[in-house]
Structure 1
Amino acid sequence: MGFLKPEETALAALQAGYKKANMGLSEQIPLGFAAGAFVAIGYMLALRSTAALPPGWEGLSSLIAGAVFPIGLILVMIAGGELLTGNMMGLSMAVFHKKASVLQLVKNWTIITLCNFAGAIFVAYLFSHVLGMLESGPYLDKMIATAEHKMEDSFLHAFISGIGCNWLVSLGVWLAYGAKDGAGKVLGVWFPTMTFVALGFQHIVANMFVIPAAIFAGHATWAGYFTNFVPVFLGNAVGGGIFVAGLYYAAFRKKQQKSAKAEASASIHTGELKQDAVL
């Protein structure tokens, strides 16, 4: 198990952002749906794993939830998926390097938001509501309390919480890009994701599951959901786009430009212009 150097990871993130910016709908729709469903399943597991813990065990509850929730992000990175929070980092990196346009970024974020929402709400309706996995006993109480807590946050609180969340989630994706094998990807995603969950930060796609689940159970409203959606979306965008992509772009842009020119020159001499060299 090993990892690339930080500047090499930055180049890998740029390449990933470039590919995402040029991905067609035939890939975006199923991969976006899958990613939303994966995150929802991870969140449902976290709620069911902690619902029966006694009062006063909040710290342990947060730790357990954090330990199991990352399965959703791991599935996205290993099995394949297009997750909005990761794309907020990747597409921003490509835009900063002028390898993608702002229009491409907006289109990608819009499509992936809708597809993630479809996947998350599918799990919320089918498994939480129809199957009833979160609509009885302590599971219902835990789910309602979680959704209400998120919707009670002020705009500023939810925005700042969103920044913290995607700063960590995007760092997990960043580490996965730099991992040289599957074990490295799992560990790279696991610990930053575990940290954001344990700290209680707000993740836009996770909220696409838990708040609609509470709505289907009759304990929340769509107005409350969309009031929460805006600040969390903006906070997640800042966390991934500025505090990860922006910082590492500022740190490594000169090295990446030199590397890209060297790759292009070598490829031209050998007659093989690789996609990586184009970057």
Structure 2
Amino acid sequence: MSYVKPTDLVRGVIDAGASKVMLSARDTLIRAIMGGAILTIAAAFAVTISVTTGSPLLGAVLFPIGFIMLYLLGYDLLTGVFVLAPLAWLDKRPGVTLGGILRNWGLVFLGNFIGAFAIAVLMAIVFTNGFATAPNAVGEAIGHIGEGRTVGYAEFGASGMLTLFVRAVLCNAMVATGVVLAMVSTNVIGKIFAMWMPIMLFFFMGFEHSIVNMFLFPSGLLLGGDFTIVDYLIWNEIPTVLGNLVGGLLFVGIPLYVTYGRPAAARTLRPSRRERALMQRAASGDSADAQGVDEPIRAGA
């Protein structure tokens, strides 16, 4: 069967986390750069669809194409390794240390940013004809997204920061689910369908994804958005990274590990008082009672 049961799935997730931590710096960076680039091309694609068709839902339905492509190729996102690497540490895999996890996160963050920023520059060129004209409709929309999701939060102060953080938590509750579901099937069609569902949900709901934002906000600045780099870092990227970390671990990684990676002892059924009395009498050698023991116990089994 192509379906991987949860217990086996968690074993696979832990194996994947250990391999990520032990990967060389060169390969970690390359895979993270490509992961960031492919995901953010898909983000540009989804925004283009939303603007040109007037249907944000259609953009959300098609956005998971990028996520699916990068995970089928084995590339990495920060939101994914936030879940995979800690589970390998909790499972005490040889060579997996907190220092190794932080190294992995740092390299993946850097690689994702390089890939996303490269796409931001390239798409800004496309949207402005090489900076020779004003941004087209899609470029203007991206600039407004950057404003609304930085200074838009700042207008509400602490309440805005709380909203931003919660959106980031909910985002990686879905994205990390997609990362895990990539391993729930052993065939490509099953993997695609399983990954598609949570990614479509997070994008349409407008949740905050740190890697997508590495594209949207630099693009917005290049395309004339009315916000600053400090606005981007304080009122989006930093809280989003922290929220993504919390959401992935709290809603996906830890629950799966606790119940399937380290399940509690199975509950055993205790015989009733009457059944215990009959068994004691049978054990004492009372043949008359012993003949009547088996049937009641079977009937109550």
Give the TM interval when normalised to the shorter protein.
Answer: 0.7 to 0.9
- Match of residue 146 from structure 2: 147
Q: Partner amino acid for 1:64? A: L
4+ residue runs of structure 1 moved beyond 3 angstroms?
A: none
CA distance in 1, matches of 2:257, 2:212: 27
**Aligned 8 A contact 2:124 2:139 in 1:** no
SS at match of 2:182: helix
**1:104 equivalent among 76, 100, 104:** 100
- Match of residue 67 from structure 2: 73
Instruction: Please give the residue correspondences for 1:132-143 in structure 2 after superposition, counting only pairs within 5 Å.
Output: 132=127, 136-143=135-142
Instruction: Please give the residue correspondences for 1:93-242 in structure 2 after superposition, counting only pairs within 5 Å.
Output: 93-99=87-93, 100-126=96-122, 128-132=123-127, 136-151=135-150, 152-153=152-153, 154-219=160-225, 220-227=227-234, 228-242=236-250
SS at match of 2:213: helix
Structure of greater Rg: 2
**Aligned 8 A contact 1:203 1:236 in 2:** yes
SS at match of 2:127: coil
Give a deviation string over 1:116-137, Cα, whole Å, max 9, x none. 00000000001x2122269633
CA distance in 2, matches of 1:82, 1:18: 14
CA distance in 1, matches of 2:128, 2:69: 21
Gaps of 5+ in 1: 55-59, 257-279
Q: Partner amino acid for 2:203? A: V
CA distance in 2, matches of 1:71, 1:53: 18
Give a deviation string over 1:162-215, Cα, whole Å, max 9, x none. 111111011111111121111111111111100001111010000000000001
Q: Partner amino acid for 2:46? A: A
Higher relative contact order (CA 8 A, sep 6+): 1
Q: Partner amino acid for 2:135? A: S
CA distance in 2, matches of 1:254, 1:139: 48
Question: Number of aligned pairs?
Answer: 249
SS at match of 2:183: helix
CA distance in 1, matches of 2:62, 2:68: 11
The alpha-carbon deviation at position 53 of structure 1 amounts to 4.2
**Aligned 8 A contact 1:69 1:194 in 2:** yes
- Match of residue 30 from structure 1: 30
TM-score calculated relative to the size of structure 2:
0.79
**2:58 equivalent among 55, 64, 79:** 64
Q: Partner amino acid for 2:99? A: L
The alpha-carbon deviation at position 138 of structure 1 amounts to 2.0
- Match of residue 255 from structure 2: 247
Q: Partner amino acid for 2:111? A: C
- Match of residue 274 from structure 1: none
Give a deviation string over 1:122-163, Cα, whole Å, max 9, x none. 00001x212226963321232122222221232211111111
The alpha-carbon deviation at position 29 of structure 1 amounts to 1.3
TM-score calculated relative to the size of structure 1:
0.85
- Match of residue 2 from structure 1: 2
Give a deviation string over 1:205-262, Cα, whole Å, max 9, x none. 0000000000111213211111111110011001112211111111112359xxxxxx
Q: Partner amino acid for 1:73? A: F
CA distance in 2, matches of 1:38, 1:182: 18
CA distance in 2, matches of 1:173, 1:114: 20
